[in-house]
Structure 1
Amino acid sequence: MKLCIAIFFTLISSICLAQINDNPTITDALLKYDFIQEQIVNNNDTITYYLKNYNVKPENLVVFIQGTDANPIFSYSVKNDKTIFNRWFGDDYKNLDSTYTYAIIPKPGMDGIYKDGEISIPQSYYDKNHLDHRINQIDISINHIINNHLSKSQKIIIYGHSEGAAIGATLATMNKKITHLGFWSGNVLNNFYEFSLFNRIESLKGDITDKAAHQNIMGILDWYKSVVKNPNSTEIDHFGFTNKRWSSYEKAPIDYLTELTIPIYALFGTEDESTPIETAYLLPVKFIENRKENLTFEVCIGCDHSYQEETEQGQKSHWNEQFMKFIEWTEKTK
């Protein structure tokens, strides 16, 4: 059975800087990128977040929520006796002025620093990588930042990419301090429906037969049934996830989004290989149907899941310009 996976990809932006260092630590990486680390003990669980350092307490907070894969936040490699530090997130924080700070919360078990090529995924990741735990991590981190690192709360902006978009949508229904939501390249409907839709799209394009598409979809439905019959299982499947993870995302993000009254900035790419653009248009339809006007709906024409466009000159990234448009939008909306 061929399965098209949505929300399975994450933006990886590695910026390499070298220094001589035989024993690299997370402290070295934080100094290199001018971030600080905070850790909060909550019910025998240690929650870690990384925050852009500041000289004077800022007023505004931007929180980025990673996508699906079990990527770390910081890693390193060694070349010619030099340590090269890498960060697994982009340049967005560099585009913010001093009135902002920027936070990122690692996935369960993925805090600290890893050596490239030797990144092993701990069992704690599989045990805790589900919607409730990730929301709890980010919610507690946001509240801690507000109480300890902001001079006064003006804007609390969260934006998630891919799976991170679904997390952000759910989180925003719970944490009332959040003022703006960015929903970037997230699945709009139930995962299993969108997996099925990709098969129908392949069939329409002639990439697979109509019969094969139907057989694949029936297999997806059987898979869905097996998940809901054992929703708390932490056994790892052949995609590297657990039933507990799959079942926690059963409610479609569109249902969370339509509950919100805060401004929402939804962004999609027309050539997205992971989230079908076809279902994205349901968002504005649903908001119109419910007479809601808090949705800004944007589409990056010709862009893939991470807003890369194939041009005659090669790949062109639109991520940075999209982020700047997003921040400018937050300054105009309340």
Structure 2
Amino acid sequence: MNHLIYITMFLLSKTFAFAQKIPEDFGYRHIKMKYLDDPVDIIVISKPGEEKIAKPLFLFCQGSMPQPVVKYDETGLYGTLPFDEMHFLDDFHIVIIGKPFIPIISNVNKLGRNYMFLKDIEKEIPPKGYIDRNYLDYYVFRNNWILKQLFKERWVKINQLLVAGHSEGSTIAVKMASINKKITHLIYSGGNPYGRMATILEQSRSEEKDSLPRGEKVIERWKDIVENKAEIQYDGGDTSKATYSFSLPQRDNLMDLKIPVLVTYGTHDWGVSFNDLFQIEAIREQKKNFTFKSYVGLEHNYFPKDSNGIVNQEVYNWDKIAEDWMNWLNNV
């Protein structure tokens, strides 16, 4: 009987300990701050043993999902970044700022589809605090404020500041750089300089048939969003406020930058035509600070996509992308 009690207590304590994982268990620093009275969680990834050595920061702006930054299960840690961070840790401390009112770390078994943290998993509704703050300017001004605070730390060199963003994060990164003159290098990945709605419309047009005018439905939706651009809905999906803010073209903010900018995208991404157009315009305006790198046959997240639109998620290209980012950094 005592033996059984011991085993039960051991299993319970093991389960409890596992449920209580913290970022430090995976070698990360977890910094907590307050921005406009909102709690902000920050993950810092450093080369082991070099946490206190002064290095520049590399801020990576997340995509659009309300995901915890650090995700794990009983087998261990999931990828915190889409690429192997070791490419950058010799030269940088990597910073990732959590989504508002989304826990910074979670067991994936507690998450919904696409590892989203949801208040209502069945209806896919995130916490209200996240929904209220999920729009472009909140992220831009919050992130720039946090960088200002981090610049006060002894382990931060302020001579260089790399900001990269993929997908929605690319829009955040560009607007940050248009305001924050401390940013010295920008990586714009998988974005659309003409805004989110342009990408949605492009995808809808490609799926159109005579009897299914998807494009017109998107345009009607856009008209409604513009009429109600400050409205926040709590029924799941992006709010009008979020969609409107991320649909504002960043073309001019991007073109006006004087710092080195790397633009990367897959040629089978829905935003490819807009990135190609932007490249044509940058060449016409003789913007020598821009480097463009397109990846033939790859889609939005750099997976191969065939002529039938089938994505092969078995072929993972992110580490190659990161290697190209690092090569660019070393040559600008």
Place the TM-score, normalised by the shorter chain, in its bin.
Answer: 0.7 to 0.9
Aligned to 1:226: 224
Question: SS of the counterpart of 1:72?
Answer: coil
Q: Deviations over 1:213-238 (max 9, x none)?
A: xx322221221121121212111356
Would you say 1:64 and 2:60 are equivalent positions? yes
Aligned to 1:202: 207
Structure 1 residues 147 and 192: alpha-carbon distance in aligned structure 2, compared to 1, 3 A threshold: same
* 1:314 shift after superposition: 7.8
Q: Are the aligned partners of 2:128 and 2:234 in contact in 1 as well (CA < 8 Å)? A: no
Q: Are the aligned partners of 1:310 and 1:316 in contact in 2 as well (CA < 8 Å)? A: no
Aligned to 2:295: 300
Q: Are the aligned partners of 1:270 and 1:300 in contact in 2 as well (CA < 8 Å)? A: yes
Aligned to 1:31: 24
* 1:310 shift after superposition: 5.9
Structure 1 residues 75 and 299: alpha-carbon distance in aligned structure 2, compared to 1, 3 A threshold: same
The amino acid that maps onto 2:65 is D
In structure 2, distance between residues paired with 1:221 and 1:322:
34
Question: SS of the counterpart of 1:164?
Answer: helix
The amino acid that maps onto 2:271 is P
TM superposition score normalised by structure 2 = 0.82
Aligned to 1:40: 33
The amino acid that maps onto 1:323 is A
Aligned to 1:10: none
Aligned to 1:106: 98
Question: SS of the counterpart of 2:173?
Answer: helix
How big is the alpha-carbon RMSD for the aligned residues of Structure 1 and Structure 2?
2.4
In structure 2, distance between residues paired with 1:264 and 1:325:
13
Higher-RCO chain (CA-CA 8 Å, sequence separation at least 6)? 1
Gaps of 5+ in 2: 1-12, 112-117, 119-125, 307-311
Aligned to 2:8: none
Question: SS of the counterpart of 1:22?
Answer: helix
The aligned length equals: 299
Aligned to 1:163: 168
Q: Are the aligned partners of 1:182 and 1:265 in contact in 2 as well (CA < 8 Å)? A: yes
Question: SS of the counterpart of 2:301?
Answer: coil
Q: Deviations over 1:143-186 (max 9, x none)?
A: 22222154532321111111111111111101111111111011
TM superposition score normalised by structure 1 = 0.81
Q: Are the aligned partners of 2:168 and 2:246 in contact in 1 as well (CA < 8 Å)? A: no
In structure 1, distance between residues paired with 2:241 and 2:155:
35
In structure 1, distance between residues paired with 2:176 and 2:27:
27
Following TM superposition, the consecutive aligned residue runs of length 4 or more in structure 1 with deviations greater than 4 angstroms are none
* 1:38 shift after superposition: 1.2
In structure 2, distance between residues paired with 1:283 and 1:326:
20
Would you say 1:126 and 2:131 are equivalent positions? yes
Question: SS of the counterpart of 2:94?
Answer: strand
Q: Deviations over 1:213-268 (max 9, x none)?
A: xx322221221121121212111356x11111112123212222112111110001
State the identity %: 22
In structure 2, distance between residues paired with 1:136 and 1:158:
14
Q: Which moved more, 1:42-51 or 1:108-117?
A: 108-117
Aligned to 1:77: 73
Would you say 1:259 and 2:252 are equivalent positions? no
In structure 1, distance between residues paired with 2:106 and 2:157:
35
Structure 1 residues 190 and 277: alpha-carbon distance in aligned structure 2, compared to 1, 3 A threshold: same
In structure 2, distance between residues paired with 1:285 and 1:107:
34
Question: SS of the counterpart of 1:49?
Answer: strand
Match of 2:241 among 217, 232, 244: 244
Q: How does 1:3-42 map to 2 (within 5 A)?
A: 20=14, 22-24=16-18, 28-42=21-35
Question: SS of the counterpart of 1:306?
Answer: coil
Q: Are the aligned partners of 2:171 and 2:191 in contact in 1 as well (CA < 8 Å)? A: yes
Gaps of 5+ in 1: 1-18
In structure 2, distance between residues paired with 1:314 and 1:246:
27
Structure 1 residues 167 and 186: alpha-carbon distance in aligned structure 2, compared to 1, 3 A threshold: same
Q: Are the aligned partners of 1:180 and 1:264 in contact in 2 as well (CA < 8 Å)? A: yes
Work out which of the two has the higher radius of gyration on C-alpha atoms and give 1 or 2.
2
Q: Are the aligned partners of 2:58 and 2:163 in contact in 1 as well (CA < 8 Å)? A: yes
In structure 1, distance between residues paired with 2:108 and 2:313:
27
Q: Are the aligned partners of 2:198 and 2:247 in contact in 1 as well (CA < 8 Å)? A: no
In structure 1, distance between residues paired with 2:108 and 2:86:
24
